[in-house]
């Protein structure tokens, strides 16, 4: 407990103590730089060890026919292999008819939906969204940078609401959806990127049932981490499709999932799950744009998993690899920062990220310091629309890709950068 | 030669002879119906025998790294595996940097381009195409139905020009491009669908260099059959990208190709080849819509082919399977129709289709008769925008999918239907 007692809040230090502390951190940082590290905590990428779990896929499929006798090598089958749709319908609590198994990227399926909403509108749209005066989306923050960059690329205005432990701030959302230009919200509902929080059944119910001025309001429900538990206390995704259907807004949610962080990140299968009308709408446009998904790869996945339980069992193997890395992040931050009152961080029970909030106005400096010491972090502000964190406080840590020892090394370094940046700030020193 | 002399033009028969002929064809058709056939000549799908040529792909790739050491299982690599891009750059006569290796469908890449032209415009566009008063495309006819249906789905007006043996009618095109609303032309330049004709270097040069009122006029150059020769007299695709670059319109052509009819139709790799500015433009938008293509499948293809010559050698094996089927189509039509003056048909030296022109106003009847006899043909008019052939004359025959004996049977049946429909027409009998 000796060390623990020395960790007083930085803000409580006297000017002389702070100066001494700043010096000590400069020394620590110089030592860090001298190590010549080259580590990367930027993206939520599976590690080679995780990818190795699926190397059997490289030798599959055996044969080239699905259960119905369809030759998976040929054209066709726009909605995907029936047995794979059934497997993920089970996992996502929908009917097989409500699932489309697509290509290798759920981001692409989300993009397809957004593009068709823009160019054609949805089943409940009075007109294509490009014909509206303006289109706005609600973005819980911190959130996933790829959602924001896609919206920005189409000139869609982004309105932020806070992301809480149980999902987006419902009251803030209710207020915004009174504007008919607000056409959607984009959520990572389970083990959110980057906060790790999971949308509760209550919040989901409120989002599904609330009145919206836009008749074609859409919830882009990016359930990327639905099965990506880090503990045995498994979060249960809210059943948004049933909730929306039950409250008279069946077409409101579009759910997306994929095996990108289950099998091979770049060679998995993506899924859309939605109301029958939405599925018909999606396929109705997709028929002009595709000769059908890669059914060979879908059969590969069917044979690899065997069943929905096969997916669940496989995720336990990922957990064994990932959980120690997340523990290492927490341990490094706890060890260096506890009591200092210069940072808070999430302790996620699933997903791919740790959300680190540092002293206001120091996140960019921390990322800059880390970079100069050979530790690549996601740019500060990346979890906010247009990359601007109004408090310059938020940093997304992605510990999945490096090996465990590298995570430990990198995180000790990050902690040093957090402390140095905080000390600089409090001492009024320009970094 | 006995039979040959009996085949007088139907139009030269006396009323009594025509009545007798009609009766004989009714009898032949009744016999055809009695056979209870179930044959399909509708789509240009590879046969199981062709797909079997690539079954080695089902056990590839060996390993999971490309030549540069990149782990192909993970995210990233938006432009595709360098060695696969280099292989197809060689085949398509462009630089590797001008090639993007994508997903499993060139139709999807064409759709991506069209969507981005609509929503953002191209590198030379004054504004996104959705902000234009109207957008029109030139469609050589007969042409590929999927081009037409995609254009129609976005409300793009289609202006037809005749497709000749050497490509689209250049004078007709020149006239149309004086209208600034005419933003593009969509061509299958090599062994065209369905005419089989190949765009000559002269026609390509004219299209590449002509003045267009639209500064962002685009040639969608769907080179789907670039390597799909049926004889040793191999057509050479016109080098549209060099021609356009040389005449000051480098961004005009967007070339598309794929391995869909080289390896597995549904699990191949698609390619975009274009100017550097177009490639940058494409990837600049694609970065928001994709986590990268399926690089595992790309590595599979690299290992399967080995080299550009490997692709060429592989195509010779397809030819061995396909050429007899095309010969059977020609033999059946020749045997039944020569001299009758009720049909003309193409004798393609590559590609996937035979273009059959029957007596005006009888194509729909032929397709209807064939259907009732268990022979599925592509709907009459499918090779024209909105499915309307103004002369009701054109039928697209696709002999690749059935086995040879079925092609022979089906085509003898089709010939019977052509003769019966013609006799009905000439005799003034309502079918």
* Distance in Å, alpha carbon of A270 to nearest chain B alpha carbon: 11
Phi and psi for B135 in degrees, rounded to 5?
A: -125, 130
Q: How many other C-beta atoms lie within 10 A of the C-beta of residue A158?
A: 18
Mutate to test the interface with A, among B42, B56, B66, B73 (most CBs of A within 10 A): B73
Residues A280, A79: Cα–Cα separation, whole Å: 10
Question: How big is the A-B interface in CB pairs under 8 Å?
Answer: 151
DSSP of A56-124: GGGG--SSSB-TT--BTTSS--TT--HHHHHHHHHHHTS-GGGEEE-SS-HHHHHHHHHHHHHHT--TT
pLDDT value at position A429?
Answer: 84
Flag whether pLDDT at B230 surpasses 80. yes
Would the CB atoms of A288 and B45 count as touching at under 8 Å?
Answer: no
Q: Where would I find the beta strands (DSSP E) of A275-353?
A: 343-345
Q: Where would I find the beta strands (DSSP E) of B236-325?
A: 253-258, 270-274
Q: Which residue, among A320, A287, A273, has the nearest Cα to A97 in the 3D structure? A: A273
Question: What average pLDDT does the structure give for chain B?
Answer: 96
| Residue of A73, A265, A289 with shortest CB distance to B73 | A265
**CA closest to A293 among chain B residues:** B266
Would the CB atoms of B291 and A105 count as touching at under 8 Å?
Answer: yes
- The confidence band for B411, taking pLDDT boundaries of 50, 70 and 90, is very high
Dihedral angle sign, alpha carbons of residues B311, B314, B315, B318: negative
Structure tokens at B336: 């039944």
| Residue listed under structure tokens 């059943």 | A239
Flag whether pLDDT at B105 surpasses 80. yes
Residues A289, A281: Cα–Cα separation, whole Å: 13
* Distance in Å, alpha carbon of A133 to nearest chain B alpha carbon: 13
Between A404-426 and A363-372, two packed helices, what is the crossing angle to 10 degrees? 130
What residues of B are in contact with residue A115 (Cβ under 8 Å)?
115, 119
* Distance in Å, alpha carbon of A69 to nearest chain B alpha carbon: 13
Q: Which residue, among B374, B370, B329, B369, has the nearest Cα to B35 in the 3D structure? A: B374
Would the CB atoms of B76 and A295 count as touching at under 8 Å?
Answer: no
Would the CB atoms of A266 and B153 count as touching at under 8 Å?
Answer: no
Would the CB atoms of B48 and A71 count as touching at under 8 Å?
Answer: yes
What residues of B are in contact with residue A59 (Cβ under 8 Å)?
59
Residues B372, B33: Cα–Cα separation, whole Å: 7
Would the CB atoms of A105 and B55 count as touching at under 8 Å?
Answer: no
**CA closest to A289 among chain B residues:** B108
pLDDT value at position A7?
Answer: 76
Structure tokens at A110: 């989300």
* Distance in Å, alpha carbon of A155 to nearest chain B alpha carbon: 10
| Residue of B73, B104, B154 with shortest CB distance to A294 | B104
| Residue of A150, A260, A267 with shortest CB distance to B288 | A150
Would the CB atoms of B104 and A266 count as touching at under 8 Å?
Answer: no
DSSP of B46-105: PPHHHHHTTGGGGG--SSSB-TT--BTTSS--TT--HHHHHHHHHHHTS-GGGEEE-SS-
**CA closest to B293 among chain A residues:** A266
pLDDT value at position A37?
Answer: 94
Cβ density class B385-413: b for 16+ within 10 Å, e for less: beeebeebbbbbbbbbbbeeebbbbbbbb
Mutate to test the interface with A, among B40, B60, B69, B75 (most CBs of A within 10 A): B75
* Distance in Å, alpha carbon of A350 to nearest chain B alpha carbon: 20
Each residue's pLDDT tens digit, B276-304: 999 999 999 999 999 999 999 999 999 99
Residues A261 and B290: beta-carbon distance below 8 Å: no
What residues of B are in contact with residue A75 (Cβ under 8 Å)?
43, 45, 260, 265-266
Mutate to test the interface with B, among A222, A258, A264 (most CBs of B within 10 A): A264
DSSP of B328-371: HHHHHHHHHHTTT-SEEE---SBSS-EEEEESTT-HHHHHHHHH
Flag whether pLDDT at B177 surpasses 70. yes
Residues B385, B355: Cα–Cα separation, whole Å: 16
Structure tokens at B405: 């004996």
What residues of B are in contact with residue A387 (Cβ under 8 Å)?
none
- The confidence band for B1, taking pLDDT boundaries of 50, 70 and 90, is very low
What residues of B are in contact with residue A60 (Cβ under 8 Å)?
58
What residues of B are in contact with residue A45 (Cβ under 8 Å)?
74-75
Residues in chain A with pLDDT values less than 50: 1-5
Structure tokens at B55: 């079954």
| Residue of A58, A130, A288 with shortest CB distance to B130 | A130
Residues B333, B24: Cα–Cα separation, whole Å: 18
Each residue's pLDDT tens digit, B380-395: 999 999 999 999 999 9
* Distance in Å, alpha carbon of B417 to nearest chain A alpha carbon: 29
Mutate to test the interface with B, among A104, A144, A403 (most CBs of B within 10 A): A104
What residues of B are in contact with residue A51 (Cβ under 8 Å)?
64, 71, 73-74
Residues B359, B330: Cα–Cα separation, whole Å: 18
Q: Residue B229 has what DSSP assignment?
A: B
Would the CB atoms of B153 and A43 count as touching at under 8 Å?
Answer: no
What residues of A are in contact with residue B288 (Cβ under 8 Å)?
111, 146, 149-150, 153
pLDDT value at position B429?
Answer: 84
Residues B131 and B259: beta-carbon distance below 8 Å: no
**CA closest to A265 among chain B residues:** B74
**CA closest to A70 among chain B residues:** B48
Would the CB atoms of B266 and A295 count as touching at under 8 Å?
Answer: yes
pLDDT value at position A2?
Answer: 41
What residues of A are in contact with residue B119 (Cβ under 8 Å)?
115, 118-119, 130, 154
Would the CB atoms of A266 and B119 count as touching at under 8 Å?
Answer: no
Would the CB atoms of A291 and B72 count as touching at under 8 Å?
Answer: no
Cβ density class B59-95: b for 16+ within 10 Å, e for less: ebbeebebeeebbbbbbebbbbbbbbbbbbbbbbbbe
Phi and psi for A124 in degrees, rounded to 5?
A: -110, 15
Flag whether pLDDT at B431 surpasses 80. no
Residues A400, A406: Cα–Cα separation, whole Å: 11
Strands A218-222 and B354-358, sheet pairing: unpaired
Structure tokens at B211: 């003045």
Each residue's pLDDT tens digit, B314-352: 999 999 999 999 999 999 999 999 999 999 999 999 999
Would the CB atoms of B130 and A119 count as touching at under 8 Å?
Answer: yes
pLDDT value at position A328?
Answer: 98
Percent of chain B with pLDDT over 90: 97
pLDDT value at position A186?
Answer: 98
| Residue listed under structure tokens 């089970």 | A90
| Residue of A76, A119, A293 with shortest CB distance to B118 | A119
Q: CA-based Rg of chain B, rounded to a whole angstrom?
A: 23
Q: How many other C-beta atoms lie within 10 A of the C-beta of residue A243?
A: 19
ipTM of predicted assembly, 2 dp? 0.96
Each residue's pLDDT tens digit, A320-369: 999 999 999 999 999 999 999 999 999 999 999 999 999 999 999 999 99
Residues A152 and A386: beta-carbon distance below 8 Å: yes
Flag whether pLDDT at B107 surpasses 90. yes
* Distance in Å, alpha carbon of B90 to nearest chain A alpha carbon: 26
Percent of chain B with pLDDT over 70: 98
| Residue listed under structure tokens 């697509």 | A102
Residues A388, A413: Cα–Cα separation, whole Å: 24
DSSP of A25-74: HHHHHHHHHHT---EE--S-PPPHHHHHTTGGGGG--SSSB-TT--BTTS
Residue B123 class from Cβ within 10 Å (0-12 exposed, 13-18 middle, 19+ buried)?
Answer: middle
Would the CB atoms of A288 and B153 count as touching at under 8 Å?
Answer: yes
Residues A195, A190: Cα–Cα separation, whole Å: 10
| Residue of B71, B265, B293 with shortest CB distance to A75 | B265
What residues of A are in contact with residue B75 (Cβ under 8 Å)?
43, 45, 260, 265-266
* CA A400 from centre of chain: 13
What residues of A are in contact with residue B296 (Cβ under 8 Å)?
57-58, 264, 266-267
Mean pLDDT (whole number) for B225-253:
95
Would the CB atoms of B294 and A267 count as touching at under 8 Å?
Answer: yes
What residues of B are in contact with residue A108 (Cβ under 8 Å)?
289-291
| Residue listed under structure tokens 């859309």 | A272
Q: How many other C-beta atoms lie within 10 A of the C-beta of residue B346?
A: 21
What residues of B are in contact with residue A62 (Cβ under 8 Å)?
58
């Amino acid at each position: 407990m000796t060390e623990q007692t020395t960790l007083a809040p930085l803000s409580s230090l006297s000017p002389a103590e702070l100066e001494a502390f700043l010096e000590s951190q400069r020394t620590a940082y110089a030592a860090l730089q001298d190590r010549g590290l080259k580590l990367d905590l930027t993206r939520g990428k599976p590690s080679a060890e995780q990818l190795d779990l699926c190397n059997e896929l490289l030798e599959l499929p055996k044969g080239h026919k699905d259960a119905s006798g369809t030759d998976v090598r040929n054209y066709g089958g726009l909605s995907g292999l029936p047995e794979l749709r059934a497997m993920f319908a089970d996992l996502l609590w929908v009917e097989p008819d409500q699932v489309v198994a697509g290509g290798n990227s759920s981001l692409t399926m989300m993009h397809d939906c957004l593009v068709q909403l823009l160019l054609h509108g949805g089943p409940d749209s009075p007109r294509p969204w490009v014909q509206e005066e303006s289109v706005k989306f609600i973005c819980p923050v911190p959130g996933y940078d790829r959602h924001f960059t896609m919206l920005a690329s189409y000139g869609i205005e982004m309105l932020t609401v806070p992301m809480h432990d149980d999902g987006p701030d419902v009251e803030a959302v209710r207020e915004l959806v009174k504007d008919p230009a607000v056409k959607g919200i984009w959520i990572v509902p389970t083990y959110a990127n980057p906060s790790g929080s999971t949308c509760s059944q209550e919040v989901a119910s409120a989002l599904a049932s609330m009145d919206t001025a836009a008749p074609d309001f859409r919830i882009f429900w990016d359930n990327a981490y639905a099965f990506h538990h880090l503990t045995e206390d498994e979060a249960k995704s809210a059943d948004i499709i049933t909730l929306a259907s039950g409250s008279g807004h069946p077409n409101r949610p579009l759910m997306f999932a994929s095996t990108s962080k289950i099998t091979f990140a770049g060679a998995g299968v993506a899924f859309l799950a939605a109301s029958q009308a939405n599925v018909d709408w999606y396929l109705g446009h997709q028929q002009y744009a595709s000769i059908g998904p890669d059914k060979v790869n879908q059969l590969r996945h069917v044979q690899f998993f065997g069943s929905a339980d096969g997916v669940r069992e496989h995720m336990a193997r990922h957990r064994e690899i990932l959980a120690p890395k997340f523990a290492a992040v927490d341990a490094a931050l706890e060890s260096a920062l506890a009591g200092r009152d210069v940072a808070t961080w999430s302790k996620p029970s699933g997903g791919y990220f740790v959300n680190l909030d540092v002293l206001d106005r120091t996140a960019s400096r921390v990322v800059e310091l880390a970079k100069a010491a050979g530790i690549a972090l996601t740019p500060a502000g990346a979890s906010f629309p247009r990359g601007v964190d109004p408090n310059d406080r938020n940093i997304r840590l992605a510990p999945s890709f490096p090996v465990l020892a590298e995570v430990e090394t990198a995180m000790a370094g990050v902690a040093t950068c957090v402390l140095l940046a905080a000390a600089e700030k409090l001492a009024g020193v320009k970094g």
